[in-house]
Structure 1
């Protein structure tokens, strides 16, 4: 029997769902990382819900972004369960802007909700989630990894702008500038430096009990296909493992075979496919 339990208390929500999410920290890195970064003093999330199947949590739904609800990695759910869930979500949640989650369940839920609400949906992005436990990499270039600092801001602002453009999350130049400032101030933004020039960057975010996620991996077009991104991500991943994280995870756009190849060569392994769907 499928039921949806909605929460008003962030503390109660965390108490109920974190142990379920931690069964696969890497696959749930987005939901778990965002959830653990919030406190009761922050703005209340737009949606906090647990889907229970015979009283056991089978799926977690969490929304802080106005355009999408994050779906956890699901427990075993039959096609009939997912059909029932889609109908109940359409009835229970007034506004469903879109989903990001494991590909199979996300597509099925989107289909049922689109039918129930008479609202067409579209796929924005298909990604693969990777997890690494041990770096397997030989350095390709004579460079070094260093933390990005305030004086790098003019360059990083442009890189953030281009990264968001290429990942279909466009920002204005002012927004990119503000984002660059935020990433630099967090202290987890690094770059690969060759002969005094920055040639690639990466950022670490959403730390959980054992896992941390790498994102904002970007190399400008004039420096691509030289091994810089590979060296940057490999060295940064090793640094994070040395800090005590047991695993690192990242998302890769399935339409970019180069980045997927690079991550696999470093030692990242595919664990699940993810998809972003929005309702129009």
Structure 2
């Protein structure tokens, strides 16, 4: 038997669930980061809830956009608990268009949601969440890391467009241009530069109490297999650790053996399988 609590105040929600989420900051980096941003901007999301079992939180749910609900890393919930959650969720959020979270629970929950709302569940993306505490490898190329600036926009716009195409999150060139501007202005976008040419990029996002997440790691196809992405991520990761973060985390496409190999060589260790499921 579970208790399903829905919240209306984002500050009250954060106060209630933060200690649970911070038990595993890296695995919960998406939910923690989004929640912190909501609090800072004083914005109320579409949906916030916590699942309680035996007087303890077992799962946290957050929805900021119609297309998906973010699920935290869960504690032990039985199949009966998950089925009950599916029923309560369908009664509360209509329609449910997608879920993102730990693979096993999210897949099982999606099955019950599909049955209850009469939709078909499709796997949109499977990823691995990685966590790093210490950089292991040394730099391999003669490049250098530098912050991306406004004059780099034409290059970054194209890279953002290609990155989103390759990660199955397509967007228009106009939107890619806007996203590139946003990333540059935020100040966390860096690039690996070799002989005056940018060859790879990465950014840092969703800072939490002890962790920050690496994202938008991209190397154009003509510069791959040269060690540039490895050096870019490795050097940037070390700088983030030097700035005070205890850990860094990142998502990697489960079907991409190259990126998974590169991240493990740097020192990233897999901590959770994540899945995105969409309903049709």
What's the TM-score, normalizing by structure 1?
0.98
Q: Which residue is 1:166 aligned to?
A: 166
Q: Does 1:29 align with 2:35?
A: no
What is the CA-CA distance between 1:41 and the residue it aligns to?
4.9
Aligned to 1:58: 58
**1:241 and 2:235 aligned:** no
* 8 Å contact kept, 1:137–1:266: yes
Unaligned runs of 5+ in 1: none
Q: How does 1:1-280 map to 2 (within 5 A)?
A: 1-39=1-39, 41-280=41-280
Over 3 Å counting, the alpha-carbon distance change for 1:205 and 1:222 in structure 2 is same
8 Å contact kept, 1:27–1:129: yes
TM-score scaled by structure 2?
Answer: 0.98
Instruction: Name the SS of the counterpart of 1:5 in structure 2.
Output: strand
The two structures, once aligned, show a CA RMSD in angstroms of 1.0
CA contact under 8 A between 1:215 and 1:251: conserved in structure 2? yes
Cα distance, 1:40 vs. partner? 7.0
Aligned residues: 280
d(CA) in 2 for partners of 1:166, 1:4: 37
SS at match of 2:139: coil
Deviations 1:112-158 (A, max 9, x none): 11011111110000000000000001211100000000000000000
Q: Provide, for residues 198-255 of structure 1, a one-character-per-residue CA deviation record: whole Å limited to 9, x for no partner.
A: 0000000000000000000000000000000000000000000000000000000011
Q: Structure 1 stretches (4+) deviating beyond 3 angstroms?
A: 40-43
CA deviation after TM superposition for structure 1 residue 87, in Å: 1.9
Does structure 2 conserve the Cα–Cα contact (< 8 Å) formed by 1:145 and 1:191?
yes
Partner SS for 1:244: coil
Runs of 5+ unmatched residues, structure 2: none
Matches of 2:66 and 2:98, distance apart in 1:
9
Change (3 A) 1:41 1:188: closer
Paired residue secondary structure (2:225): coil
Return the alpha-carbon distance in structure 2 between the equivalents of residues 232 and 72 of structure 1.
29
How far off is 1:84 after superposition? 1.7
Structure 2 CA distance, aligned partners of 1:238 and 1:270?
A: 18
Secondary structure class of the residue paired with 1:104: helix
* SS state at 1:263 partner: helix
* Counterpart-to-counterpart distance in 1, 2:190 and 2:81: 44
Q: Quote the offset at 1:54 in angstroms.
A: 2.6
Report the CA distance between 1:38 and its aligned residue. Answer: 1.6
